[in-house]
C-alpha cells in the first residue's frame, strides 16, 4: 500500500515563509526609497554600531556619553525595529545590494507574519482557509509595497499579530510563564511603534466575552507589568534622564506636526473620521474586501471556533479606532493602518473557507466529491487574479493602487483621492538625470534626503546638488532652499496634498510646473504619478 505524504500545518507555514522571503527580496530593489526610510536607516546604522561597542567594551557602551552618541538619532520613535534591521544588515550586506540589505530585516518579519497568519487560521478553519489568508495578505498591493520597507508600520503590524497569535494559542494554559511571555511580546511591540499599545484592548474585550477566568486575569496583569519593563530595557536612550525623555517621547506624539491629506478633492489636516473606512475600501481589492465581510458575518456561526473570528473582528476594530477618534494621528493615507491588514486577511481566509465548505457540499450533492478540490483552487485563483494582474502592471508604484470598489486609479483620481505619496516614484527619474544632467546641476524635489541617500548608495550621480521645496526663500550656495526657477531639474510626485494653496506646508506653485513640458514621466492608465522637468522656460 502506498502512503501519500501530506504536509502538516507547520511544514506549510515554513514553506510560505520561505516563498515570501524570496519574493520580497527579489522585488525589493525596484521598490523606490520612501521618505521615512532614510531616518530609520540612519538609526539602524547607529544602533548597530553601538552593539559593536557593546561586544568589545560593555562598560563603555553603557556610559551616558556613549548612549547619547549612538541613541540620540531618531529617538522620537522606539528602537526595536531599527535594532533588528541594523543587526540583520550586518550579515545581509555581504549578500544583497545596500538598500535590500537594509530592508532584509523587515522582510524576514513579514515572512514570520505570513507563517503565523496561516497557522492561526488553518488550525481552526482548515488548510484552505489558512492558505488563502496568507496569500490574500500578500496580494494586497499596498501591503505588499510596505512589506519591503525599512520602516516601522509593517513591523508593528507583525508584532501586534504575533501577540494576538500567542494569546490565542496559550490563553487556556496554566502557569505564570505564559503571562510573562505575553508581556515580553507586548513590550517589544510597543518598542517598535506606538500602535503596539492598543492591541491588548482587543484581548481584554475578548476575555470579557469568552474567557472570564482568574488565571487569564492574572496573566493579563503580569503581561502589563512585564511589557513596561521590556519596553524600557529595549531602549537604551531611556537609561539616563528617564522621566524627561519619556515625556519628550509622549509629547512628540501628542503634538506631532500636521501632515496634510488630499481627500475627496479637498485639503485636510487632519481628515474627518470616516477617512479610515473610505481608504480601506479604496485600497483593499474588492474580492478580498467581500470575503472579509463574509468572514465577519461568519463570526459566531457555523462550526464552533472558540471565539477566533470574534478575536479577529475585535482586533480589526481596535487597530483602526485610534485613527477614528485620535484625529491628529491621521496622515499618509493607509500607511498607519498596517496592523489592520493581517486581521483583515485572516477574516477573508475564514470567508473563503466557508465558500470551500459550500463547494464541498455541492460536490457531494452531485456525487462528484473529487471535483471539490480543483473547484476550490479555481475559485481561489479567480478571487486573487484581478489584483495580481494590476500589481504586475503597476509595479513597482504600488502606492498608487486603488481597488475596483472606487474604479481603480482613474476612478480614485476623479473622486479626489491622492495619487501617490512618500516619494517612491523618485527612483524612476534617476536614470534620466544620470544620463542628461551636467556637473553641478541643481535638483528640486519634495524630499532631498531621499535623493542624498540615492547618492550614498551610488544610484544618483555625485556631482548634482539639491534645492529645498520652499520657493519663497533664497539661500546662497547650491544647497538649501531657493527660488523655484533656480533649479535645473524638478522631480514632481503627484501627491496633491503637498501642493496646496499658499501658506500650506510643502507649498509649491503647481500651476507653474503644469505649464511646462516634462522631459520624462511615469503614468498609469492615463494618470500621471511623477513628472520630471528640465529648467523652466
Cell numbers at residue 444, please? Answer: 528640486
Which run of H or E residues covers position 477? none
Cell numbers at residue 373, please? Answer: 478540490
Cell numbers at residue 446, please? Answer: 519634495
d(CA 491, CA 521): 9
Burial label for 94, CB within 10 Å (0-12, 13-18, 19+), is exposed
| 311 vs 272: which has the higher pLDDT | 311
> What DSSP state is assigned to residue 472?
T
pLDDT in tens, 157-213: 999 999 999 999 999 888 889 999 999 999 999 999 988 999 999 999 999 998 888
| 384 in Cβ contact with 137 (< 8 Å) | no
pLDDT at 40 over 80: yes
Per-residue pLDDT at 31: 97
pLDDT band at residue 509 using 50, 70 and 90 as cut-offs: low
d(CA 29, CA 99): 7
Judged by average pLDDT, the poorest of 80-94, 314-328, 491-505 is 491-505
Cα-Cα-Cα-Cα dihedral sign, residues 101, 102, 108, 113: negative
d(CA 68, CA 244): 14
- The residues spanned by each domain of the chain are 9-257+271-344, 426-533
pLDDT at 440 over 50: yes
pLDDT in tens, 52-89: 999 999 999 999 999 999 999 999 999 999 999 999 99
Per-residue pLDDT at 124: 93
| Angle, in degrees to the nearest 10, between helices 308-325 and 153-170 | 150
Residues 6+ away with beta carbon under 8 Å from 214? none
Per-residue pLDDT at 108: 98
Per-residue pLDDT at 503: 40
| 20 in Cβ contact with 86 (< 8 Å) | no
| 369 vs 8: which has the higher pLDDT | 8
pLDDT at 475 over 80: no
Cell numbers at residue 112, please? Answer: 514570520
d(CA 529, CA 522): 6
Per-residue pLDDT at 329: 62
d(CA 520, CA 533): 7
Cα-Cα-Cα-Cα dihedral sign, residues 204, 207, 209, 215: negative
Residues 6+ away with beta carbon under 8 Å from 87? 48, 51, 105
Read off the pTM.
Answer: 0.93
pLDDT in tens, 325-336: 765 566 788 998
Task: Tell me the backbone φ, ψ of residue 3, rounded to 5 degrees.
Answer: -110, 125
Alpha carbon distances (Å) from 289 to 63, 307, 474: 52, 21, 49
List, in sequence order, the alpha helices (H) in 127-199. Answer: 127-138, 141-146, 153-170, 176-190
Per-residue pLDDT at 476: 37
pLDDT band at residue 4 using 50, 70 and 90 as cut-offs: low
| 344 in Cβ contact with 284 (< 8 Å) | yes
Amino acid at each position: 500500500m502506498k502512503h501519500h505524504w501530506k504536509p502538516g500545518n507547520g511544514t506549510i507555514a515554513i514553506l510560505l515563509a520561505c516563498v515570501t522571503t524570496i519574493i520580497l527580496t527579489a522585488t525589493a530593489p525596484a521598490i523606490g526609497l520612501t521618505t521615512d526610510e532614510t531616518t530609520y536607516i540612519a538609526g539602524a546604522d547607529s544602533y548597530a554600531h553601538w552593539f559593536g561597542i557593546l561586544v568589545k567594551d560593555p562598560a563603555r557602551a553603557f556610559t551616558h556619553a556613549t548612549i547619547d552618541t549612538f541613541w540620540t538619532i531618531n529617538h522620537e520613535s522606539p528602537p526595536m525595529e531599527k535594532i533588528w534591521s541594523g543587526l540583520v544588515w550586518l550579515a545581509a550586506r555581504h549578500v544583497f545590494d545596500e538598500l535590500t540589505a537594509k530592508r532584509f530585516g523587515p522582510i524576514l518579519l513579514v515572512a514570520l507574519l505570513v507563517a503565523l497568519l496561516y497557522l492561526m487560521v488553518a488550525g481552526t478553519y482548515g488548510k484552505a482557509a489558512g492558505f488563502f489568508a496568507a496569500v490574500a495578505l500578500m496580494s494586497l498591493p499596498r501591503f505588499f509595497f510596505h512589506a519591503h520597507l525599512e520602516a516601522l508600520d509593517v513591523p508593528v503590524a507583525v508584532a501586534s499579530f504575533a501577540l494576538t497569535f500567542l494569546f490565542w494559542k496559550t490563553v487556556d494554559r496554566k502557569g505564570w510563564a505564559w503571562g510573562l511571555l505575553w508581556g515580553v511580546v507586548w513590550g517589544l511591540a510597543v518598542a517598535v511603534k506606538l500602535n503596539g499599545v492598543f492591541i491588548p484592548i482587543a484581548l481584554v474585550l475578548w476575555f470579557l466575552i469568552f474567557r472570564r477566568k482568574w488565571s487569564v486575569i492574572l496573566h493579563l496583569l503580569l503581561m502589563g507589568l512585564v511589557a513596561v519593563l521590556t519596553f524600557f530595557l529595549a531602549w537604551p536612550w531611556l537609561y539616563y534622564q528617564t522621566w524627561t525623555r519619556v515625556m519628550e517621547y509622549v509629547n512628540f506624539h501628542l503634538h506631532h506636526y500636521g501632515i496634510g491629506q488630499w481627500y475627496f478633492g479637498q485639503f485636510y489636516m487632519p481628515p474627518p473620521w470616516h477617512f479610515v473606512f473610505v481608504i480601506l475600501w479604496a485600497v483593499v481589492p474588492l474580492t478580498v474586501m467581500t470575503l472579509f465581510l463574509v468572514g465577519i458575518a461568519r463570526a459566531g456561526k457555523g462550526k464552533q471556533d472558540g471565539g477566533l473570528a470574534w478575536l479577529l473582528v475585535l482586533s480589526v476594530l481596535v487597530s483602526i479606532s485610534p485613527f477614528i477618534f485620535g484625529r491628529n494621528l491621521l496622515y499618509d493615507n493607509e500607511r498607519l493602518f498596517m496592523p489592520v491588514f493581517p486581521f483583515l486577511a485572516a477574516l477573508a481566509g475564514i470567508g473563503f473557507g466557508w465558500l470551500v465548505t459550500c463547494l464541498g457540499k455541492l460536490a457531494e450533492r452531485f456525487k462528484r466529491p473529487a471535483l471539490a478540490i480543483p473547484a476550490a483552487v479555481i475559485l481561489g485563483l479567480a478571487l486573487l487574479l484581478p489584483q495580481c494582474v494590476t500589481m504586475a502592471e503597476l509595479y513597482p508604484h504600488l502606492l498608487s493602487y486603488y481597488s475596483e470598489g472606487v474604479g481603480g486609479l482613474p476612478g480614485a483620481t476623479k473622486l479626489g483621492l491622492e495619487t501617490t505619496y512618500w516619494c517612491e516614484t523618485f527612483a524612476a527619474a534617476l536614470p534620466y538625470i544620470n544620463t542628461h544632467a551636467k556637473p553641478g546641476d541643481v535638483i528640486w524635489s519634495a524630499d532631498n534626503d531621499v535623493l542624498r541617500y540615492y547618492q550614498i548608495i551610488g544610484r544618483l550621480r555625485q556631482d548634482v546638488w539639491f534645492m529645498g521645496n520652499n520657493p519663497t526663500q533664497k539661500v546662497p550656495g547650491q544647497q538649501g532652499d531657493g527660488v523655484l526657477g533656480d533649479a535645473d531639474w524638478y522631480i514632481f510626485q503627484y501627491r496633491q496634498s503637498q501642493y496646496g494653496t499658499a501658506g500650506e506646508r510643502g507649498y509649491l506653485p503647481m500651476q507653474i510646473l503644469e505649464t511646462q513640458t516634462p522631459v520624462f514621466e511615469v503614468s498609469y492608465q492615463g494618470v500621471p504619478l511623477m513628472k520630471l522637468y528640465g529648467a523652466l522656460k
